[in-house]
Amino acid sequence: MKTRVERRLAAILAADVAGYNRLMGGDEEGTLAALKGYRRELIDPKIAEHRGRIVKTTGDGALVEFASAVDAVRCGMEIQRAMAERNADIPEDRRIEFRLGINVGDIIIDEGDIYGDGVNIAARIEALASPGAICLSDNAYQQIKGKLALDVTEMGEQQLKNIVQPVRT
Amino acid sequence: MKTRVERRLAAILAADVAGYNRLMGGDEEGTLAALKGYRRELIDPKIAEHRGRIVKTTGDGALVEFASAVDAVRCGMEIQRAMAERNADIPEDRRIEFRLGINVGDIIIDEGDIYGDGVNIAARIEALASPGAICLSDNAYQQIKGKLALDVTEMGEQQLKNIVQPVRT
């Protein structure tokens, strides 16, 4: 029997820190400590609460897989809302703000890592998100509309087709 | 902690027999025996091979859940191809032909059963499929295009939006 690749439908959340190089240039140790604190106190617990799985982390980025698009978007919204509250008391040039991108794709799973268009698109739409906001692919938006209360701005055909971006909460 | 509904992204395949009432009117016991044989020898093994889960069966219908849209469409194509081969030697008025509908949705799982728009849409597009063919929702098509070799006919906005229908193989 030939080996068949394992596939599954998943919501993929890609995240990074807006202006990471600038923040690190200004205060390397402070930025790392703040990021670590956010992760421990806010982000990792939120991901666990919404049954997400952290596939990998890079310096300022992360790739998270969820079984449900509704769970992924809910998780992203709660993280962005909590970050906005924390940032309200911090000078603008020292704020850590995340950009999040969420896509739904039929991805390939191999030894715990994930591959495919579905993953690449999540990373590409994340780069389009404003700091503090979430950028959804049309595939993700189709799976959550009517199921979550969102303010959404259509971004139209912006290199990628059919991107919608919920406005900052 | 409040109970949260369990959701997951899934490919839902809905199936029924075209002209079931006519077939049953002509030969009740023969039709049932033939259906049972197809299920045992062809359909159930194909579903298992592609890691599908039969959620429920009705008289002539079935609802099957797959983790991957690619697996679901591959399974549907293999079943339709095998049925076409079997039917080639059977008089037209006695052929059992399936209509299949496949949708991708963020569905709700409760005690093994599945609920939500994603399930309803699969059933509605199945009714649009020609006998021996598969009707895909746009959500399903987006997840398989470029991943499978298909002949696809766009059906356009036909009550449901964005339906595509692979032609009979």
Chain segment B79-107, per-residue pLDDT in tens: 999 999 999 999 988 999 999 999 999 99
Chain segment B19-74, per-residue pLDDT in tens: 999 999 999 999 999 999 999 999 999 999 999 999 999 888 999 999 999 999 99
Cα distance between the two ends of chain A:
51
Evaluate whether B51 touches B42 at the Cβ level (below 8 Å). Answer: no
A169 pLDDT higher than 60: no
Highest mean pLDDT among A5-9, A90-94, A155-159, B90-94: A5-9
Task: Say what the pTM is.
Answer: 0.84
* Residue A163 pLDDT grade (very low, low, confident, very high; cuts 50, 70, 90): very low
* Cβ contact, residue pair B106, A143, below 8 Å: yes
**Cβ contacts from A onto B, under 8 A:** 52
Q: Which DSSP string corresponds to A15-81? A: EEETTHHHHHHH-HHHHHHHHHHHIIIIIHHHHHHTT-EEEEE-SS-EEEEES-HHHHHHHHHHHHH
Residue B52, chain A, CB below 8 Å: the answer is no
* Residues of B whose CB is below 8 A from A104: 9, 104, 143
Residue of A nearest to B137 (CA): A142
Task: Give residue B131's pLDDT.
Answer: 92
- Of the candidates A106, A117, A139, the beta carbon closest to that of B68 is on A106
Task: Give residue B84's pLDDT.
Answer: 93
* Rounded Cα gap, residues B169 and B163, in angstroms: 18
Residue B36, chain A, CB below 8 Å: the answer is no
* Cβ contact, residue pair B67, A144, below 8 Å: no
* Residues of A whose CB is below 8 A from B142: 139
* Residues of A whose CB is below 8 A from B143: 9, 104-106, 139
Burial label for A90, CB within 10 Å (0-12, 13-18, 19+), is exposed
A153 pLDDT higher than 70: no
Evaluate whether A95 touches A125 at the Cβ level (below 8 Å). Answer: no
* Residues of B whose CB is below 8 A from A143: 9, 104-106, 139
A24 pLDDT higher than 80: yes
Residue A97, chain B, CB below 8 Å: the answer is no
Residue A12, chain B, CB below 8 Å: the answer is no
Residue B34 CB partners (closer than 8 Å, separation 6+): B96
Task: Give residue B158's pLDDT.
Answer: 43
Residue B139, chain A, CB below 8 Å: the answer is yes
- Of the candidates B9, B71, B139, the beta carbon closest to that of A67 is on B9
- Of the candidates A9, A70, A146, the beta carbon closest to that of B69 is on A9
Residue of B nearest to A8 (CA): B68
Six-digit token pair at A106? 């039929």
* Cβ contact, residue pair A106, B69, below 8 Å: yes
Q: How many residues does chain B have?
A: 169
* Cβ contact, residue pair A143, B147, below 8 Å: no
Pairing of strands B152-158, B160-166: antiparallel
Task: Give the residue with greater pLDDT, A54 vs B150.
Answer: A54
